[in-house]
Structure 1
Amino acid sequence: MNAQEPANYVVSPPLDGGGAVVFVPGLGGRTKFVDRWNEPGRGPVIRRAVWSEPMNVPAVDERGAALASLIDRADASDVVLVGHSMGALVCLEAAGRLDRRVRGVVVMCQYPPHRTPVSPLAELPDRALAAELDAPPHIADTAALPEYARLWRSEYRLLNRYLESYPRPMVNAPIVAVGAKDDASSWSSENLDEWHSYTTERLSVHMVAGGHQMVEELPSETLREWLSTLSC
């Protein structure tokens, strides 16, 4: 990457100026499972948005602005943004900037900002933080852990700062809010109902089995059913 270029999202496959479904991951940025959603011959293609410099951690609203700018430059329209965890908040920020270019937003495992408590995880020591995040052994059990822990703490501190900021974006498109029954960040459908405060259109709420990483096991058919409701 050219040193003059700022960190940004890289969308794969690249945006081509038409409609697009873009998935934005949360902490850790895992997106490999998106391949499973893209069954041969079945549209629309679900694209991954990956931050170009993983160890450079900008604020949530800055990431949302970067994603919106990328979509705007590609002249994409009829866009659906799908975000998991912190990625859902990035989608909220991007959608608020893109206005009518966005057809809908799917937020998974994330309460709306005013219902999300400030996280205490930023203050945990390295190993305790890795345990809380269920970090894989190739990170938790190696010399790389301190650097990853630094990144995780930075993410949580920026998240906490975002949760305490105002005003909130408003989305001029429907929102689908998805909670997981064993996830502390989304188990309450009552809290998820309050996503209605962030859209001028309709809100639908769905609950699924599993914990915070349920997105990695989510069947393609289920996701596509939610996407189809955004066309109604």
Structure 2
Amino acid sequence: MSVLVRHRGPARPRTRLVCFPHAGAPPGFFTAWGAGLPAHTEVLTARYPGSPAEGAALGDVAALAAAALDALAPRPTHLFGHSMGALVAYETARRLRRPPARLYVSACDAPPVGRAPVDVSGDDALLGELRRIGGTDPGLLGDEAALAALLPRIRHHFDLLNGYAFSSGPPLTCPVTAFHAHQDTEATADAVGRWREVTAAGFDLRGFPGDHFYLVAQRDQLLAEIGTRLDAPAADWQLAP
């Protein structure tokens, strides 16, 4: 399994953005993001395991992602995670040999808040959860053949999330930018704002119109927010020749 998928790689990138998707996200969810970011930005997505054999805990996924990033040419690396992806991005940042330039977390309560597990043990329960939170193509939810192939992978992603427990430790040394949506019932502004507790560097909070999947309708505005931060000075990084 390839841990990182490269969507765009300029010949001489100056910065790198690594995207960590929500549970059950399609592989190409972030493919189009490169067009909305500065041309010198390399864009990658972390690919999650599809079964316990490939990664049984969220920390395992983060360790794989960190090892894959540590093996790349050094350059200022920004991590963006949406929903469950915010937790994976955060745990990846904690494991990197060199701190990221910035961590962006989206539509996710801060780790110290915690969350109640979601019952996805049966197909009906899992489909009900997907319908409740939105963000999944209704046509897919009615395609029995596609669901038979996809539901085991999606269930494993929810199992990773259900099994996650925050453990305190040294704060991050990179700044954190948190995004939330005004009508999001899954992650409130107050709970998202508590991401400030996990970093010893700067923190800012930005709100958008919309629900838990605001980043679809508000993609251009979100990418503009990220793009303005990609060129901020990043300590302890040396660009590869």
Q: Give the TM-score of the pair, scaled to structure 2.
A: 0.78
Change (3 A) 1:44 1:85: farther
* 1:10 has 2:5 as partner: yes
Corresponding residue SS for 1:48: strand
Query: 1:3 is matched with which residue?
Result: none
Distance in 1 of aligned mates of 2:133 and 2:190: 25
Write the deviation string for residues 129-160 of structure 1: whole angstroms up to 9, x where unpaired. Answer: 44335443234331342443333332222212
Preserved contact between residue 81 and residue 105 of structure 1 (Cα < 8 Å): yes
- 2-structure distance, mates of 1:118, 1:40: 35
Corresponding position of 1:211? 211
Q: Is 2:100 the counterpart of 1:105?
A: no
Pair 1:170-2:165 in alignment: no
SS at match of 1:37: helix
- Structure 1 runs, 4 residues or longer, greater than 6 Å off: none
Q: Unaligned 5+ residue runs, structure 1?
A: 1-5
The alpha-carbon distance between structure 1 residues 52 and 130, as it changes in their structure 2 partners (threshold 3 A), is closer
**Equivalent-residue separation in structure 1 for 2:37 and 2:118 (angstroms):** 45
Query: Does the Cα contact within 8 Å between 1:23 and 1:48 map onto a contact in 2?
Result: yes
Q: What residue in structure 1 maps to residue 201 of structure 2?
A: 201
Counterpart amino acid of residue 205 in structure 1? L
Structure 2 counterpart of 1:219, one-letter code: R
Query: 5 Å matches for 1:10-89?
Result: 10-13=5-8, 19-30=15-26, 32=28, 34-39=30-35, 42-45=38-41, 47-51=43-47, 54=50, 58=55, 59-89=57-87
After TM superposition, the structure 1 stretch with the greater mean CA deviation from structure 2, 174-183 or 25-34, is 25-34
Instruction: Give the partner amino acid of 1:114.
Output: P
Task: Give the aligned residue type for 1:20.
Answer: R
Q: Take 1:221 and 1:214, find their aligned partners in 2: how far apart are those partners?
A: 10
- The code of the aligned residue for 2:189 comes to S
Structure-2 separation of matches of 1:124 and 1:40 = 39
Partner of 1:138: 140
C-alpha distance 133-140 of structure 1, shift in aligned 2 (>3 A): farther
**8 Å CA contact retained: 2:13, 2:42:** no
- The number of equivalent residue pairs is 225
Contact (CA 8 Å) 1:19, 1:76: kept in 2 or not? no
Match of 2:237 in 1: none
Question: Per-residue deviation at 1:195?
Answer: 0.6
- Spell out, residue by residue over 1:10-53, the C-alpha distance to the aligned partner (whole angstroms, 9 max, x if none): 33335978531111211123364534433389434351314175
TM-score (norm 1): 0.81
The answer to which structure, 1 or 2, has the higher relative contact order (CA under 8 A, 6+ apart) is 2
Segments of structure 2 that go 5 or more residues without pairing to the other structure are: 234-241
AA paired with 1:178?
A: F
3-state SS of 1:105 partner: strand
